[in-house]
Amino acid sequence: MMPAAPVWQKGDDTMTEREKCDAGLLYCPGDPEILAEMFRAHELCMKLDAIPFGNFKGREAILRELFGSAGKDPVVEMGFKCDLGRNIHVGDGFYCNFNCVIYDSTRVEIGNFVWIGPNTTLCTATHPVEADARVNEKGEELAFPIKIGNRVWIGGGAFINPGVTIGDDAVIASGAVVIHDVPAGTLVAGVPAEVKKTIGKDHAG
């Protein structure tokens, strides 16, 4: 889970901006190396949208080029967007509905048989709250990884914030804004999302 008050630490001058990002330090998203990766990901997302949905093999080939890793039979509907692509790792049976956004400034790990509803966002990046720190010539930001367990269902229009971990078999209700970790086998809903019930005997407290 993202710290309640993030510490905006800077890396040393020997680190690249990508290394700072991966280490959880302040980094500049406008760095040429990061921008090159971003442009590559955006181009692949456009190629993905240009392939008819019925061409599953063609779409899967693009996904495997775009993602850091993917298990068996990944399916992503039209309108998918991501930031870098290389930081997205999905397990077997991944399904992503229309117009999903994964802002993968850092690692996004998704388990097996995860379903993501339409118009859902997973965002790893965040910015300083203080305007002086946020609005400067470098435009530095920070990123926290997102981890989603196995057999998770994320309803349409949900927003998963930086640093969140979602346990196995959890359900995220449509429109939920998730700012805290979600225990395994629970259903969360609301803004901000809260646990509404425990699902199944295997997860009973």
Whether 125 is in a domain gets the answer yes
Over 70: is that where the pLDDT of 202 sits?
A: no
Over 50: is that where the pLDDT of 175 sits?
A: yes
Whether 8 is in a domain gets the answer no
Over 80: is that where the pLDDT of 21 sits?
A: yes
Whether 160 is in a domain gets the answer yes
Q: What is the pLDDT of residue 57?
A: 94
Q: What is the pLDDT of residue 204?
A: 45
Reported confidence tier of residue 205, pLDDT bands at 50, 70, 90: very low
Contact by Cβ (8 Å): 97, 118: yes
> Which two three-digit tokens encode residue 110?
């998704």
Mean pLDDT rounded to a whole number for the chain: 91
Among the options 42, 127, 180, 203, which is catalytic?
127
Cα dihedral 26, 31, 37, 39 sign: positive
Task: Quick: pLDDT tens for 113-155.
Answer: 999 999 999 999 998 788 877 777 677 889 999 999 999 999 9
Over 50: is that where the pLDDT of 161 sits?
A: yes
- For residue 182, give the CATH number of its domain: 2.160.10.10
Quickly list DSSP for the chain.
---SS---PBPPTTS-HHHHHHTTSBB-TT-HHHHHHHHHHHHHHHHHHHS-TT-HHHHHHHHHHHSSEE-SS-EE-TT-EES-STTEEE-TT-EE-TT-EEE-SS-EEE-TT-EE-TT-EEE-EE--SSHHHHSSSS--BEE--EEE-TT-EE-TT-EEPTT-EE-TT-EE-TT-EE-S-B-TTEEEETTTTEEEEE-SGGG--
Whether 174 is in a domain gets the answer yes
Whether 124 is in a domain gets the answer yes
Q: What is the pLDDT of residue 59?
A: 96
Whether 130 is in a domain gets the answer yes
Reported confidence tier of residue 13, pLDDT bands at 50, 70, 90: confident
Task: Quick: pLDDT tens for 29-83.
Answer: 889 999 999 999 999 999 999 999 889 999 999 999 999 999 999 999 999 999 9
Number of domains in the chain: 1
pTM for the model stands at 0.89
Domain assignment of residue 139, given as a range: 17-199
Task: Quick: pLDDT tens for 69-126.
Answer: 999 999 999 999 999 999 999 999 999 999 999 999 999 999 999 999 999 999 999 9
Whether 1 is in a domain gets the answer no
For residue 127, indicate whether it is catalytic.
Answer: yes
Whether 70 is in a domain gets the answer yes
